[in-house]
Amino acid sequence: MHELTDASVGFTFGGRPAIAKLRPGDRLYTQTKDCFGGAVASIDDLPSQVCQFPYLNPVTGPFHIIGAQPGDTLAVHLVSLHPSVPYGWSSTFPHFGALTSTAQTATLQPPLEERVWRYAIDLHAQTVRYSARTSDVKIDLPLEPMLGTVGVAPAAGEVRMSIVPDRYGGNLDTPLLRAGSTLYLGVNEPGAMLSLGDGHARQGDGEVSGVAVEVAMDVVLAVDLIPGVYTPTPRLETDAALMSIGLGRPLEDAFRVAQHDLVEQIAAVTGLDLLDALQLVAQAGETRVGNVVDANYSMVARIAKRYLDGACSYAGVHAGLRSSRPVL
Pairing type for strands 235-237 and 27-32 reads unpaired
Q: How far is the CB of 248 from its own copies (least distance, A)?
A: 5
- Beta-carbon contacts of residue 3 (< 8 Å; ≥ 6 apart): none
Q: How far is the CB of 29 from its own copies (least distance, A)?
A: 28
Q: How far is the CB of 82 from its own copies (least distance, A)?
A: 19
Q: Which is nearer to its own copies, 49 or 52 (CB)?
A: 52
CA 32 to chain centre: 13
Q: How far is the CB of 51 from its own copies (least distance, A)?
A: 13
User: What one-character-per-residue DSSP string does 17-50 give?
Assistant: --SEEE-TT-EEEEEE--TTTT---STT--HHHH
Q: Which is nearer to its own copies, 139 or 315 (CB)?
A: 139
- Give the separation between CA 112 and CA 93, rounded to whole angstroms: 8
Q: Which is nearer to its own copies, 102 or 324 (CB)?
A: 102
CA 40 to chain centre: 21
For residues 123 and 83, the answer to whether their CB atoms sit within 8 Å is yes
Q: How far is the CB of 137 from its own copies (least distance, A)?
A: 6
Q: Which is nearer to its own copies, 29 or 117 (CB)?
A: 117
Q: Which is nearer to its own copies, 20 or 139 (CB)?
A: 139
Cis ω on the peptide bond leading into residue 54 (within 30° of 0)? yes
